[in-house]
Amino acid sequence: MSLRKALLVLIAGEPRSGYDIGQEFDGVLKFVWHAKPTQVYPELKRLAAEGMIREQEEGPRGRRAYEITADGLAELREWLTVTAPDHSLRNETVLRSFALWLVEPCEASGFLSGELEYHRARLRGMRVLEGSLDLTRPADRAALLGLRAGILRLEAMVTWADWAIETVAAWPSRDEEATA
């Protein structure tokens, strides 16, 4: 998925400013896509230059909200109905787990405990977001689909981290392993 598509999806739901979009990336979209303001603002300018979005009148404190255009909606609809999804996934936590044999079990356990707490905290936040949805709004009904995917993924990560902590607790220390 591209940042371009993520921005179009967000703006299609309702007009948003770059700041609003940043809040979405830090909140509900964090488990799906991450983008920094230094990436968002230039892409908004490109989308506007291509006619995919347009700037609304400047609001309070210089706020610039963007709304989607017919061309932007057409691009999204094509993406949803014609283009096959990219199923690749990057997960640094899981990648690091492949290397935990390089540290002492207590260090591995510390890492995993931190991950457990992180995922529990994110799960609490996602459940709050889920409860705040207005399911009379079409965009919120669709957001529920993504939020549930995120909640289920976080629940799986919590279960995995609990299991991994128990598993690592049974590992011998590096010194014990070296003398075995």
pLDDT digits (tens, 9 = 90+) for 71-96: 999 999 999 999 888 887 778 999 99
> What fold does the segment set 3-81 form as a domain?
Arc Repressor Mutant, subunit A (1.10.10)
* Residue 52: count of CB within 10 angstroms of its CB: 23
Beta strands in the chain (DSSP E): 16-17, 53-55, 65-68
> Which of 70-74, 80-84, 121-125, 175-179 has the weakest average pLDDT?
175-179
How far, CA to CA in Å, does 160 sit from each of 128, 156, 168?
22, 6, 12
> Any idea where the domains of the chain sit in the sequence?
3-81, 92-179
The whole model's pTM is what?
0.73
